[in-house]
Chains A and B, each alone.
Chain A
Amino acid sequence: MATVVTAVESVLEARGIEKSYRRGVWPVARRQDVLRGVDLALRPGEVVGLVGENGSGKSTLMKILVGALRPDAGTVAVSGRLGYCPQEPVFYERLTCDEHFELFGRAYKMSAEDERRSRRNLYAALGFERYAGTRADQLSGGTLAKLNLGLALLGDPEVLLLDEPYAGFDWDTYLKFWDLVAGRRQAGRSVLIISHFVTDEGRFDRIVQLRDGRAGPR
């Protein structure tokens, strides 16, 4: 069972999350339980890893936490803004990096100045300012991943949920990513990261493992 803290202390708290999918078509349809009552809480300044086997429900849980998917049962409470970086980069193909940041700046209700400042910092931190005017459909996989992550970080959210964010990063960018995460921890921001890398273990404050549809400490 994951550590459950009180709502006052946690910035994100999920209780009793259940989700099942229907497989096949009638009359041979059957339900497959993916999540069977997941409890999870994130405290301010905490960097938590979410691990589990393929198909264990990590991405499903994350989609429920951000509100992209409705759970069959359970509740999610978030205090503050929430940033989300999906596993598959999601973009408007023919818009440039700058144009994506402008759109998401509106979504986060940032002022024009704040959005531009944050955008500049992210370009510098992840090293892709030279692609500012390049369309998304002309970016390499690694730069797309940087834009994907940058859009989640733009609004400086209190809670950041990242679904395998560094696939496609080179070593240098990978290290820059962890510098960013460390900076967020210091600023009291919380980060939940789905990860497969054993080498990342030491970088997390704690690791939550999904097994048999439930969350527990690793």
Chain B
Amino acid sequence: MTSALFVRRFLADYARNPVNPLVLVLVPVVFVVVAAGSMADAARLLGGTGPSVETAAAGWAAGFLSAIAMYFQLRGSREADRRLVLAGLPAGRLVVARMVTGLVLVALASAAALTALALRTGIDDPWRVGAGTIMFAVVYLAIGALTGVLVRNAVNGTVLILFIWILDVFFGPALGSPDRLSTRWFPTHFTTLWMVDLPSRHGGRLGDLGWALAWTLGALVLAGLVVTGTTRVVRGRRGHGGPFRTALRMGLRDYRRNPVLWALLIGVPVVFIWLSKVITAPGTMTLSLVDHGRAMDFTFWLPDMHAGTMTPIAIAALAALAGLFVVLDARAGDGRLILAGFGVRALLAARLGVVAAAALLVTAASLAVTAMVFDARQWVVYAAGNLLLALTYGLLGVCLGPIFGRVSGVLIAFLVPFLDLGIAQSPMLRAEPPAWARLLPGYGADRVLLDGGLTATFDQWGPLLLALGWLVALGLIGARLFRTSP
């Protein structure tokens, strides 16, 4: 078996790196045996629970060991792996060998950490603690793999892994408060809470175990993709790809090189969403919503829900600006490309593809900030509603650009979301939107996301269809303007 041979060789490579045997002993001894007691004392002062720290320390140790091991596996192997593939080794076998090696390393790191824990305090719930420790190791396997392909310098790579690990451990739920929302997007937040059997109360339908498994599965997929990427070679002569793919690739490249994009992507969600949580005065408010098929009035504690209702305003404004600038920045160049023979449909599809990617990006960035200050009842529906809104306003920006130009377009791109979502649809001003607000582009998507954010079941099929109708209509208008504008 070729793969087995490679696994053995890769493990030999692991064993021969003096850093690996050293940390395999040192890390569990230091964190699980020596420091866990003191860290538990510190955790009690910070609002955490002491015993959970001692248990979680096994996961921390396994995670760190796994990340370092996988980092050194991949750091310098890219060229050698490609050479193997060029020499005739099927890339699939090499990927399998690397992944099997990674899983053996996960098992090794977990065993070392659990042994240390068993020696120090014993393990009350072996299945839960064992599974949690392995999940820690798998999540960090992906972090190590990703660092391995991004950072070649061994010192820099190790420091980066250490930095991520310190953030995750010291600001995570075991050392702090388990119900803190702001750290829910840390890689092992839910894994830690499930492992030490402290319910987060913000796991939603998926639950803490569901989220932990999702992170673990996601990490495995990511590690697989990273390893596959390191073995990729160019067979024969590489072509351009189709016109659409070329234009989309260049469009995305042009978009991500815009520094204003990154500033807005961080600044707008923080200002609109996070600050709204900070400045909201205590009080209650009542909204008319539909839950389990019945319309009724719900009363909410304002500081708990205000930020979640500000998210769509941030997303709509960012998406409208993205749509506006994607089309306007490229307009003159696109005109020349079309004259040179580039297909109008391919170019239009590429521009809309960039707008869709931008909508996805602004939604993800805004939801990451939102998740720290707001807890949606149905996260998937809430996120989907926000994405629908982002796509709608992205297309609105595409339409505004050719009609109003750059300066007026920017003003209108900020004004329309404010009027639509901040005034007309706003749950802060009235229990439900007035009849005329149903004519505005944000109505449907806003009702969907409010339903997802504030109720237990999805009931907004009518508004969902209305939102999809807006998407189609704006897409058609945008396409028409793209073809006809000079």
- Interface residues of A, Cβ cutoff 8 Å to B: 66-68, 81, 83-84, 86, 90-95, 99, 102-109, 111-113, 115, 135, 151, 155
Known contacts A90-B333, A92-B330, then 16 further A-B pairs from the complex at CB < 8 Å, ordered by chain A residue: A68-B339, A81-B341, A83-B340, A90-B336, A91-B332, A92-B250, A93-B254, A93-B329, A103-B250, A103-B337, A108-B341, A111-B239, A112-B237, A112-B238, A113-B237, A135-B257
B294 within 8 A of A: no
Q: A91-B333, A106-B246 are in contact. Are A67 and B254 (CB under 8 A)?
A: no
B342 within 8 A of A: yes
5 residue pairs, one from A and one from B, having the closest CB atoms = A107-B342, A107-B340, A94-B257, A92-B333, A90-B336
The contact sample of 22 A-B pairs, CB cut-off 8 A, is A67-B339, A81-B341, A86-B336, A90-B333, A92-B333, A94-B254, A94-B257, A95-B250, A95-B253, A99-B250, A99-B253, A102-B240, A103-B246, A103-B342, A106-B247, A106-B342, A109-B341, A112-B237, A112-B240, A115-B240, A135-B257, A151-B336
B337 and A104 form a contact (CB under 8 A): yes
In the complex, what residues of A have CB within 8 A of residue B238's CB? Answer: 112
| Whole-angstrom distance between the Cβ of A151 and the nearest chain B Cβ | 8
In the complex, what residues of A have CB within 8 A of residue B250's CB? Answer: 92, 95, 99, 102-103
A68 and B335 form a contact (CB under 8 A): yes
**How many angstroms between the C-alpha atoms of A106 and B412 in the bound complex?**
35
Contact with A along B57-99 (1 / 0, CB 8 A): 0000000000000000000000000000000000000000000
For B, the interface residue count at a CB cutoff of 8 angstroms equals 24
**How many angstroms between the C-alpha atoms of A151 and B246 in the bound complex?**
16
B5-41 at interface with A (beta carbon < 8 Å): none
In the complex, what residues of A have CB within 8 A of residue B122's CB? Answer: none
**How many angstroms between the C-alpha atoms of A103 and B342 in the bound complex?**
9
B243 and A84 form a contact (CB under 8 A): no
B485 within 8 A of A: no
**How many angstroms between the C-alpha atoms of A107 and B246 in the bound complex?**
10
In the complex, what residues of B have CB within 8 A of residue A91's CB? Answer: 332-333
Which of A92, A95, A112, A135 gathers most chain B CB within 10 Å? A92
Closest to A63 in B: B339
Closest to B332 in A: A90
Closest to B255 in A: A94
| Whole-angstrom distance between the Cβ of B236 and the nearest chain A Cβ | 11
In the complex, what residues of A have CB within 8 A of residue B342's CB? Answer: 103, 106-107
In the complex, what residues of B have CB within 8 A of residue A81's CB? Answer: 341
B258 within 8 A of A: yes
Q: Interface residues of B: mostly helix, strand, loop or mixed?
A: helix
In the complex, what residues of A have CB within 8 A of residue B257's CB? Answer: 94, 135
Q: A106-B240, A112-B237 are in contact. Are A95 and B254 (CB under 8 A)?
A: yes
| Whole-angstrom distance between the Cβ of A174 and the nearest chain B Cβ | 23
| Whole-angstrom distance between the Cβ of B336 and the nearest chain A Cβ | 5
**How many angstroms between the C-alpha atoms of A208 and B332 in the bound complex?**
29
| Whole-angstrom distance between the Cβ of B380 and the nearest chain A Cβ | 35
B229-261 at interface with A (beta carbon < 8 Å): 237-240, 243, 246-247, 250, 253-254, 257-258
A105 and B240 form a contact (CB under 8 A): yes
In the complex, what residues of B have CB within 8 A of residue A113's CB? Answer: 237
**How many angstroms between the C-alpha atoms of A80 and B120 in the bound complex?**
82
**How many angstroms between the C-alpha atoms of A66 and B335 in the bound complex?**
11
**How many angstroms between the C-alpha atoms of A50 and B256 in the bound complex?**
41
B340 and A155 form a contact (CB under 8 A): yes
| Whole-angstrom distance between the Cβ of A141 and the nearest chain B Cβ | 17
B336 and A84 form a contact (CB under 8 A): yes
Closest to B330 in A: A92
A90 and B237 form a contact (CB under 8 A): no
Closest to A105 in B: B240
**How many angstroms between the C-alpha atoms of A99 and B250 in the bound complex?**
7
In the complex, what residues of B have CB within 8 A of residue A115's CB? Answer: 240
| Whole-angstrom distance between the Cβ of A148 and the nearest chain B Cβ | 9
Closest to A109 in B: B341
A94 and B258 form a contact (CB under 8 A): yes
| Whole-angstrom distance between the Cβ of B293 and the nearest chain A Cβ | 50
**How many angstroms between the C-alpha atoms of A115 and B339 in the bound complex?**
18
In the complex, what residues of B have CB within 8 A of residue A102's CB? Answer: 240, 246, 250
Closest to B259 in A: A94
**How many angstroms between the C-alpha atoms of A113 and B342 in the bound complex?**
18
In the complex, what residues of A have CB within 8 A of residue B333's CB? Answer: 90-92
**How many angstroms between the C-alpha atoms of A91 and B335 in the bound complex?**
10
| Whole-angstrom distance between the Cβ of A96 and the nearest chain B Cβ | 9
B339 and A66 form a contact (CB under 8 A): yes
B255-304 at interface with A (beta carbon < 8 Å): 257-258
B247 and A103 form a contact (CB under 8 A): yes
B323-353 at interface with A (beta carbon < 8 Å): 329-330, 332-333, 335-342
